[in-house]
Chain A
Amino acid sequence: MSNLIQGNKISIDPITRLEGHGKIEIFLNEAGDVDKAYLQLPDLRGFEKFVEGRPAEEMPQITSRICGVCPGAHHMAATKALDAMFGVEPTITARLIREVYYNLHYFEDHILHFYFLGGPDFIVGPTASKQERNILGVIDKVGVEIGKQVIDIRLRARKLIDEIAGRAIHPVLGLPGGVSKQMKTETRDTLRAFVKDAVAFAQFTLKVFDDIVWKNPTYRELMLGDVYRCESYYMGMVDKNGHPDYYDGNIRVVDQTGKEFVTFAPKDYAKIIAEHVEPWTYVKFPYLRDIGWKGFVDGLGSGMYRVAPAARFNVSSSMSTPLAQEQRLIYEKAFGGKIVHSVLANHWARLIEVLNNAERLAELVEHEALCAPEIRNMNLCTPTEGVGIVEAPRGTLIHHYTSDANGIITSANMIVASLANVAAMSMNIQSAAKAFIHKGQVNDGLLNMVEMAFRTYDPCLSCATHNLPGKMPLQVNLNQIGKPDRSLLRSSDGSITETRKEATHG
């Protein structure tokens, strides 16, 4: 993280320990207090446009390249969109293999966040030096042996993913109506041994959270206080019993009091969700269509909704597995009820989901059909249009494709989980900046506490930037020794401005 203070502006550029790129700019007033703060995402991905003209069946492979951290989520959303597009249901065995794969992906992804990305803010400390706020600082704090366990359990999960899905990062598993590879009995044996350790590791990690985070009065105050808080609508996928479901189900939306706003099938998403675009960002802002986009405000009158682990808890009644449900009751009691508005609660909810994933894997590994040879349903219809929705680790992920009769993609829309949280992240960043920065006094620790407002969402900003507002904004800086520095800026409307200043270099 590089912090640059220029006049009344503080830049945190780049922000760190997230997926993708971003920067925060904080503007101070004359008293040195915070006037405004912005989260800016300077990269453009543009997958929605360049997949046009590609064969539909390539979408699970192409879209998994959107992100190296959550390729499994895009792969699975794309695969489910192909199921819908080709009008085909996967076989029981294919569904089981997909679920095994997806729960493994969740398990290692969530652990990555707690120990490598978001967790260091608590395990090492929010105001610790930035040299320590990372996995090495975490290992220093919890001990080398535990550090080895973290690395080992993730390695085993990723080796299983590699075995089941062909590749650990860019899977070649999903096909319309099935999967590409039957599960071997030896893989099942390896998985069986893994899940036993995975359950124990998830429980251990929850204890680490309890000991280091929740039992620390300062951290508890941060989690329960008003600085990191937002009252919005919440969205997440639930199964027929009202449990959070990461792979399949209907989408439920509740309001700030927990009252159901709507439950809808994936194919109907466009009736419920609309997308707002701004000329200054590559991000699209999804919102609830019936309420409307009211800008960067929360509350009942704002159509802004949020996703991610805490949102999944807010929309669901209970967990699908017993140990995770025990932990959820503790979580709900700690926050004073079923609906939790604390932004930092995501850290805790995420770890309960890790336990839920491990327990679900323990159920799946014993299913009699898991290693059966019926892995593909080839009764394909002529492709037209398909919507696939999964819960990505960081929230509800929507893929929507249309194609011609030959299965060539004619349009694609992706509403990525982090998009739903970007408006809230911006608000939470400003709230934190206003709470912690006064009279122009800043330091690295305080600015890290501003970053914590986005980190809790585990955002994937590389996944989130697909909107191209007019021309691509571009800034070119020309620094030539002995000559004035020149800066050429092309704005999103295509206009070009040039500025010059005397060189400061020799």
Chain B
Amino acid sequence: MAEVLDCRGLKCPQPVLKLAIKANSLPKGTVVEILADCSSFPTDVTNWCTKNGKVLVSIVPKNGANCATVQL
């Protein structure tokens, strides 16, 4: 079961900061779902995954926000 981070209401780069903090405490391979409604979140999370060697599995609209699935 994926870890879930609800970052709705937070402005970028806060959602990715929360993800970066969370990533420190989770084992490699863990899947994290991040829900965020900041308009620049898709770009931000994509860049973070690219720079840090994480897998962006998907990013899809969900309940008026974007839900990114990331494998650490």
Q: Which residues of A contact B (CB under 8 A)?
A: 55, 57-58, 86, 175-176, 180, 376, 378-383, 405-407
Verify if B28 is at the interface (C-beta below 8 Å from A): no
Ranked 4 nearest A-B pairs via Cβ: A380-B20, A382-B24, A57-B17, A378-B48
* B21 contact set on A, CB distance < 8 A: 86, 380, 382-383, 405-407
Q: Are A380 and B24 in contact (CB under 8 A)?
A: yes
- Give the residues from 1 to 50 in chain B that come closer than 8 angstroms, CB to CB, to chain A: 10, 13-14, 16-18, 20-21, 24-25, 48
CB distance from A441 to the nearest CB of B (A): 59
Nearest B-chain residue to A176, judged by Cβ: B17
Of the A-B pairs whose beta carbons lie under 8 Å apart in the complex, a sample of 26, sorted by A's number, is A55-B14, A57-B13, A57-B14, A57-B17, A58-B14, A86-B21, A175-B13, A175-B17, A176-B17, A180-B13, A378-B20, A378-B48, A378-B51, A379-B52, A380-B17, A380-B21, A380-B24, A381-B24, A382-B21, A382-B24, A405-B21, A405-B25, A406-B18, A406-B21, A407-B18, A407-B21
In the complex, what distance in Å separates the CA atom of A382 from the CA atom of B18? Answer: 10
A378-B52, A380-B20, A382-B24 are known contacts; what are 19 more A-B pairs with Cβ within 8 Å?
Answer: A55-B10, A55-B14, A57-B14, A57-B17, A58-B14, A175-B13, A175-B17, A176-B17, A180-B13, A376-B13, A378-B48, A379-B52, A381-B24, A382-B21, A382-B25, A405-B21, A406-B18, A407-B17, A407-B18
Nearest A-chain residue to B12, judged by Cβ: A180
CB distance from B13 to the nearest CB of A (A): 6
In the complex, what distance in Å separates the CA atom of A380 from the CA atom of B24? Answer: 8
In the complex, what distance in Å separates the CA atom of A180 from the CA atom of B13? Answer: 8
Nearest B-chain residue to A172, judged by Cβ: B11
CB distance from B4 to the nearest CB of A (A): 14
Nearest B-chain residue to A383, judged by Cβ: B21
Nearest B-chain residue to A56, judged by Cβ: B17
In the complex, what distance in Å separates the CA atom of A378 from the CA atom of B12? Answer: 13
